[in-house]
Structure 1
Amino acid sequence: MNNPIYIDVENAYLPNVLPREMDVQNNDPTLPALQAQAVAARTYATWTALNKSYDDPFGFGYINQINNSTDYQVYYPDAYDHFVNPNDPEGVKQMISTAISSTFGEHLTFGDGSAIDAEFGGDIAIQSVDEPSKDYLNTIQDPISTICGAVTNYSGWGMSQKGALRWSKGNQCATGGDANTAWPVTWTDYRQILAHYYIGIDIMGPSGKVAPDDRWNLLKHNVPSQMTGGIAQSVEIWLQNTSATEWNDARLVYQWVGTNNGGEVSLPVMPAGKDEKITVDIIPPASNGIYTLRLDVKRANGAWFSEQTPPWPDAEIPVAITGASATPTPISPPGQTISIPISLGSDDGGTNPGDCVFSNTDNEVYLGACFNGGDITSGFRFQNVPIPPNANIENAYIRFTVDGQYTAPIHVQIDAEASGNPLTYSASCSPRT
């Protein structure tokens, strides 16, 4: 047999490295963790082939070559077919193939654009270990890796393979754990894993950068799952600068999706790779409902990092708003009108047997006839409407906006449903405006 041998990186080497390196027999993998491993393994193989040599047991030296031992990467020619996950052997094999093909040709680079020494290993506890000769392998905090047997079992440089699994599962146990070990943050993008463990790097693909220079990762937060409407609450946001450069003018920004409610807070100077815990007073919407709190970072006078090209993931946290206070609603002076649009769908959504069945969360009123010729019945509900204190309600009415063109007369019948405290109800029709 000839030695050395030459193998195809994408089609032969990586498919047989990933199963053993990520230990898919004992850990159910995730696609983001496998993608991160594919990029790291490809980068490490490139760097070692160009920068290292080894001596075999017989004293022969090999320059710009690697072997298949754990001194480099665990490569077994049949690992893809035989070192399989017992819970889903074919599914995990397909996941490995997808991880490689979806990151085809991607490498980690630093500074002059050369491939980095993308070190990685089984596990680290609490934080990685500093490699002083390589800035991209400086220490980072890994707060998700503190329990479930987390232990530093290699040099501690670079990416923790179990850490990658933990972040991609949102659980402190690489095996998945349970509700008691759940973590408030899950990373669904492999680039978040790579930018976390390798400081200030670029992720380069065949056509250029696949990650922007400005990036951030949410490490942890204590945003409650339920908040009182209109009442400010202090929360702690733990975030990391995963950008290619230092932050000296960055802002943490937040917004309640679908509303104009939001704010921002200045961040301290943060070198690449460093993390900070920031306290933010967040004011939730004044109306009850299920909302999404969106967190992101931006430079002063710059775009949110998620709005760059290519974009970077923001953080989205679901929150239930209850017990909404009326005080945030402005009190209109005498003679003025308060307009309250329908903001949430009703559980009385329009329905009609046969061809027309509408969702019970629709917030529109359907006019006309169904395809089957039957009449449409639409319903909606107003509830928890914030009435200003001491307000004197003279008239309450519903105004409909037509969003289509109608070629035939439409007959509309409006009925009211009794509430727990019904008031006098009457219906009238004003001229169309």
Structure 2
Amino acid sequence: MKDFGTSSDPAVKAQLDRLAALSVPQGRLGLETIRALLARLGDPHLALPPVFHVAGTNGKGSTCAFLRAMLEAQGHRVHAATSPHLVRYNERIRVAGELISDARLAEVLAEVLDAGSDLAPSFFEVTIAASFLEFARVPADACVVEVGLGGRFDATNVIPRPAVCGIAALGIDHERFLLAPDNDVPAEPLARIAFEKAGIAKPGVPLVTFGYPPEAATAVERVADRIGAPRFAQGTDGGWIADAAGDRIAYADARGTLSLPFPALPGLHQAHNAALAVAMLRHQQAVSVSPEAMAAGIRAARWPARLQRLASGPLTGEREVWLDGGHNPSAGATLAQHFAGQRLHLVIGMIEGKNPMALVGPLAPSLASLTAVPVPDHDHHPPEAFGEIARGAPDVAAALADLPDDNLPVLIAGSLYLAGEVLRLNDEWPD
């Protein structure tokens, strides 16, 4: 499966094969297994540098990219744990600014897998334990940690006292897990999602969020109040505001105002993600970052497969091709906003369980054609799931070859697994 990845390094491949054999007992929730595994490893999560912990449905990875870039622009050494990987598993573990080497990856995965052989840990629990183990051994000034799924029961949620917690945009995704019946949780879907994400809140730790619809905002507020986490929400009294217009971001909070540049990452939503990262930095006291470093980091941040304009390469040739791993209605709305008023060709691949119209519906006014392709190594929706205009192709290369030479842009979207394959085929490996 593409989740676990392959490697040309035999030692890494051996450990990835062990990872691929792991499974999660049906219905298991909670942090007991990850805590037991970390205890056997010496509790490395208690020895991390100041942690910036980020949850959200959409934008949490981009927010982490902005945080890392801003911290590094200040001269700080930064660890980062993000997911999923696109091409190489190593992308999940960035140690003091560099992707973990194959040699260290093989060693740390073997150590974690050996320590937890009788605990039946999940793939993600092993990944997080390996990340924290390596982070605790290599000096750094800060640690950026992206939640994998949800927040309350996510393996990253063992960190006892981060420097700051943040929640990016909310939307309906991973319904099977995040909307499963439970006691004493909100019934309204978006409120339930908000409740799960807010589960990363910690006593006395600033919780920085976007502004949300009333039912979601109330859910976050109730969790924060119960936990004792001071909350700083966009657009609220005592919170922060950010207006993106022209080529500047006007940011303001209780400490004052900032005029910041637009990100190099395309899309208005990225300006908002950058502002959330700024707000997180401004509402913590563990690590110093100047406004100048914030501006430099906003311009420098890169995050592959999120509205990425692909370079000319063996897959794309000279055509204008965009790549996005979005697969839920919120991502569809963002893509529709970016391509509003344009005609484009959509090449889409989505795994089973995702709503096939999540992107097609919002993008419909812009579509000159729609080609459905398989998602490598995953069960996926057939062409007919995407509506009457959809046609099929055996792979992305065939889909691109069949398009007319009409100078219209192409958007490849629907799955981060598909996005990783596209980057590999076009020789644009994330670094």
| TM-score using structure 2 length | 0.22
- Larger relative contact order, structure 1 or 2 (CA cutoff 8 Å, min sep 6): 2
Name the structure with the higher helix share. 2
